[in-house]
Structure formats: structure tokens, C-alpha cells
Amino acid sequence: MPTLTLYSRSYCHLCDDMLAALSALRTELAFELIVVDIDSEAGAALLDRFDELVPVLLGSDIAAPPLCHYFFDRAAVQAYLLAARA
């Protein structure tokens, strides 16, 4: 099953919007979603990398460019998920 990681923060309305869009997409395509709050202790190491970019959505390769940030790119995420299944 493909995995997506959403880097976000708790007070970010764009993060809430992207999470809602991902939840809706899960009714069509199965994937695992990991949500990391970059302001938490677990995400603190990512603060320098993603501070001004959240929300940031990555596929399973954290070194690859983000699938999207700020706004949900449904076409890019669907293409990634479909390719990951092949």
C-alpha cells in the first residue's frame, strides 16, 4: 500500500484543508497517511526544512520533490498513487 506523509502544524488552516482533501481521496484510493506536526518534538528536526512550506505532502521517498505544498494537487497525488500500485 502506498504511503503519503503530510508535514503540517496544528494552527494551519491550509494543513486542515489538505488533510480533508486527503481524507476524501481515501474513499477512492487506498493509501497509508502519516501526519507529522513539525512543531512537535517528533517533527522538530524538520522545522528548518518545512517551516514556511507547510502543508507539505511527500510520497515514500523523502528525498524526492514534494507532491504538493500549500494547496492539494489532486492530479499529482492521484498519479503518484496509481504509479505506486503498478
pLDDT in single tens digits along all 86 residues of the chain: 899 999 999 999 999 999 999 999 999 999 999 999 998 876 677 888 888 889 999 998 878 899 999 999 999 999 999 999 87
User: Is the Cβ–Cβ distance between 67 and 80 less than 8 Å?
Assistant: yes
CATH number of this structure's domain 3-85? 3.40.30.10
Q: How many CA atoms lie within 13 A of 8 on its CB side?
A: 22
CA 48 to chain centre: 17
- Residue 49: what pLDDT? 83
Q: How far apart are the first and last CA of the chain?
A: 11
- Residue 4: what pLDDT? 97
